[in-house]
Amino acid sequence: MIVKTFDSKKYTNKIEKHAFQKDLINWYDAEKRDLPWRADQDPYKIWVSEIMLQQTKVDTVIPYFQNFITSFPTLNDLAEAEEEKVLKAWEGLGYYSRARNLQAAVREVVEVYESKVPDQPDLLGELKGVGPYTKGAILSIAYEKPEPAVDGNVMRVFSRILAMDDDIANQQTRKKIESCVTDLISHEDPSAFNQGLMELGATVCTPKKPTCLLCPVQEHCQAFEQGIQESLPVKSKAKKQKSLEYFALVFKDENEKYILEKRPETGLLANMWQFIMIDKSEVQKKQLPLYVREKYGWSIKGIKELSPVKHVFSHITWHLTVLEVELEGEIKTEAQASLMKKEKIKELPLPVSHQKIFNQIT
């Protein structure tokens, strides 16, 4: 059997390890930003912050983190909370499965590990939503264990430090860089080492126009030495996204009540609430009254067209034609749909696209 091996030493041997560690950690200790999740080493709070920070900027996360910890101060509080309250606290942050996975994992920690976040890599990595990066982040930051925590920042920083031209869009590259970090990580302060790499990537070793003149590890950087820092890391481009068109129907009855439905528990915007959507390819606007009568059994008194909503996701763009539809008679809603007043809607977790619709309701 042939096993492909990656010789990380081929890269990391070029680095003066202890000087690199010292320069990075001293810089981090002096320059690190004062962020709310750096107030203490509570594994639960570190965990929450790391999940929120996935693919999300620090400035965006700060208020969500503050509110989340106020609402769910401890692991047990989160375990006992209603899922809908958790989703509401996550509303607007995106990637909502993060919130559901976090709560599921926290419940497992309560039941299986007596409410103590595991400090063993294998056990921690089995929890829902805890992948290679988050596992390493919790272990190093909360438990001072010398484990790699390789995110986009670290891949960029290491691509430059080591002058690696591997495509960072390739999954395999993360594993290679994990090996390199394992070679170089400080065993005296793995937390400052890992966070220092990320802090450096976020503030100095930026994707475009890195400020190498301010870099604490400039003298250790192979890319800077070769003058190729602007062309690293190599990253292949994502393909173009699809476009989908829907009617978004704001059904309203005689008592100023609106009809919303809960989305399926898997897939896009799982378990979030929304106004009823109909794929435009299924029905034309003229046919709507007939369609609504056949599918829902409701009679339409009048239709008013509101402003269209365009919403861009990572891989899809929604074009929503928004229609406020007055219904007559008594309304019976199906299992997953509910009739409710505006005040009630405000308590439900809505994706941003449907907040845009809600904000148009008079």
Partner DNA sequence: GAATCGTGGGA
Partner DNA sequence: TTCCCAAGATT
Residues that bind DNA in the complex, under the rule CB under 7 A: 35, 49-50, 53-60, 92-97, 101, 128-135, 137, 151-153, 156, 170-172, 195, 198-199, 201-202, 206-208, 235, 237-240, 267-270, 311-316, 351-353
Query: Which CB atom, from 152 or from 289, has the smaller least distance to DNA?
Result: 152
Cα 59 to Cα 41: distance, rounded to the nearest angstrom? 20
Cα 179 to Cα 285: distance, rounded to the nearest angstrom? 58
Residues with active-site annotation: 50
Query: Contact at 8 Å (CB) between 106 and 130?
Result: no
* Closest distance to DNA from the beta carbon of 303 (Å): 26
Query: Which CB atom, from 171 or from 255, has the smaller least distance to DNA?
Result: 171
Look at residue 53 and give its three-state secondary structure.
Answer: coil
Query: Which CB atom, from 157 or from 259, has the smaller least distance to DNA?
Result: 157
Q: List the structure tokens of 29.
A: 């200790």
* Closest distance to DNA from the beta carbon of 357 (Å): 12
Query: Which CB atom, from 20 or from 64, has the smaller least distance to DNA?
Result: 64
* Strand (E) or helix (H) holding 354: helix 352-358
Query: Which CB atom, from 43 or from 351, has the smaller least distance to DNA?
Result: 351
**Which residue, 150, 160, 153, 156, is CA-closest to 182?**
150
* Closest distance to DNA from the beta carbon of 300 (Å): 28
* Closest distance to DNA from the beta carbon of 158 (Å): 13
Query: Which CB atom, from 94 or from 289, has the smaller least distance to DNA?
Result: 94
**Which residue, 140, 157, 202, is CA-closest to 20?**
157
Cα 260 to Cα 68: distance, rounded to the nearest angstrom? 25
b/e string for 82-121 if b means 16 or more Cβ within 10 A? eeeebbbbbbebbebbbbbbbbebbbebbeebeeebbeee
* Strand (E) or helix (H) holding 184: helix 171-184
Q: What angle do CA 254, 257, 260 make, to 5 degrees?
A: 135
**Which residue, 220, 270, 328, is CA-closest to 87?**
270
The number of residues in the chain equals: 362
Taking the CA atoms of residue 118, residue 124, residue 129 and residue 132 in that order, the dihedral angle to the nearest 10 degrees is 140
Query: Contact at 8 Å (CB) between 37 and 65?
Result: yes
Residue 264: count other Cβ atoms within 10 Å of its Cβ: 12
* Closest distance to DNA from the beta carbon of 218 (Å): 19
* Closest distance to DNA from the beta carbon of 309 (Å): 11
Query: Which CB atom, from 69 or from 292, has the smaller least distance to DNA?
Result: 69
Cβ neighbors of 207 (< 8 A, separation 6 or more) are 156
* Closest distance to DNA from the beta carbon of 125 (Å): 8
